[in-house]
Every structure is written in structure tokens, then in C-alpha cells.
Amino acid sequence: MKLLVGLGNPGAKYAQNRHNIGFMALDRIAADHGFSPWRAKFQGQISEGRFGSERVTLLKPETFMNLSGQSVGAAMRFLKIPPADIIVFHDEIDLAPGKVRLKTGGGHAGHNGLRSIHGHIGPDYDRVRLGVGHPGHKDAVPGYVLRDFPKADAEWLDDELRGISDGIADLVAGDGPKFLNAIALRVAPPRSSKSTPKPKPDIEVPASEDDARSPMQKLVDRFR
């Protein structure tokens, strides 16, 4: 059994915020892989399914970001799983938009959702860090993550979410590199090895041997 947690804030007001990219990832996984309809449980919304023989529960806490740990702790205790079987998807300001990294354990780096989870279950869980970029100054961070993704980000964001869905079974199976490769194939697909053939150069066709023009006429015709 694996518990996949997406961090965000509930409600339409926050749905497209950078802070809600964890919710977005779980929504794509549930939709693409035929998981059960979302329902209320553990102070959040859950959806259930399988990847092969592995049972998986998706959880979107509805406690608001700062209290995410309450929901995660309740789910962990009910499901009787250790922190090592929990994977948390969250926004990461220290990564450029479109970048994804995996991490196990360690600090929360000031992320309020992770701070709350640390307080309820400890730090020994896996994280999928989803880059959203940094506004440039720490005082601007709260407003930045609570704003919607701009339209200019729509293409890479959709590619990234599709890549997460493509590779999620590998991540659940413990193959992090294969999961990241699935995302890379969506976000930065390899260029085709086929190159456009170069146009053939213009070739001057020599005059036929029976050309009756005089040398002067040939010269004049050449520069017309």
C-alpha cells in the first residue's frame, strides 16, 4: 500500500495557484488511471486504485496548506503504513518551472505544508519536488505561490503533469529514475535525428553545342 499526497488549498479560488500543483498532479493521475471517484475522508479527498498488485490511495488534504499534516497523519494511522510508504507532491520555489526532483527525508525548507507533515509523522517520507520558480525575494514568496500560473506556463505545466501520470507506476514501484525520465520525455522530448535535406544548388545548364548566338550575344544574355 502506498499513500500519494498532493499538497494545495481547497476551493476554486486556489485551484490554479502555483501552491496547488500537488493537487493538479493527483487529479491527472486519478483521471488517467481509472481511480475511484474522489470522496471525503481523513479531512481531505481520497481516490483509490492499483498499479499492478500495489494498492494506492491518493489524498488531497482539505485542511489548508498549513495544517496538511493533520490529514496525512490521520490517513497514515488508519491505513497502518509507515512514513516510508508515503510520497508527497508539492510546489518547490527553489527549482525552475518545469524541473522535477525526488527527495527522501531531510528538512522542510520553510514549506508550510511540509512543516506540518513533519510535525505529525516526522521527516522520513518521500517527496516529489515540482519546480515553480522563485519571485526573487523571500518577502514576495507568499503572494507568488498564491497566484495562478500565468498562461505562458500552460504548455510546460500540461506536459509535466502528463509526464507524472506516464511514470507514476514506476515511482510507486520504486524506480525514481524511470519516473523522472517519463517526465523528461514529455517536457523536453528528444529532437528527431532526421534533418531537412539541404536544397540542391542551382546548376547552370551549358548551352547546347548548336547554339548559334555570337559570343557578344551570349555575354549580353548572361547578364539579363
Residues 6+ apart with CB under 8 A from 169: 51, 52
Cα 95 versus chain centre, distance: 12
User: Is the predicted pLDDT of residue 214 greater than 70, yes or no?
Assistant: no
Task: Region of 64 please: left (phi>0), alpha (psi -120 to 50) or beta.
Answer: left
pTM of the full structure? 0.84
pLDDT of residue 201: 41
Q: Say whether 134 is catalytic.
A: no
First to last CA, the chain: 82
Catalytic residue among 19, 108, 111, 137: 19
User: Is the predicted pLDDT of residue 196 greater than 60, yes or no?
Assistant: no
pLDDT of residue 208: 45
Q: What is the pLDDT of residues 77-96, one digit of tens each?
A: 999 999 999 999 999 999 99
Give me the domains of the chain, ranges plus CATH numbers. 2-187 (3.40.50.1470)
- Say if CB 55 and CB 2 are below 8 A apart: yes
Mean pLDDT estimate for the chain: 90
Q: What is the pLDDT of residues 152-174, one digit of tens each?
A: 999 999 999 999 999 999 999 99
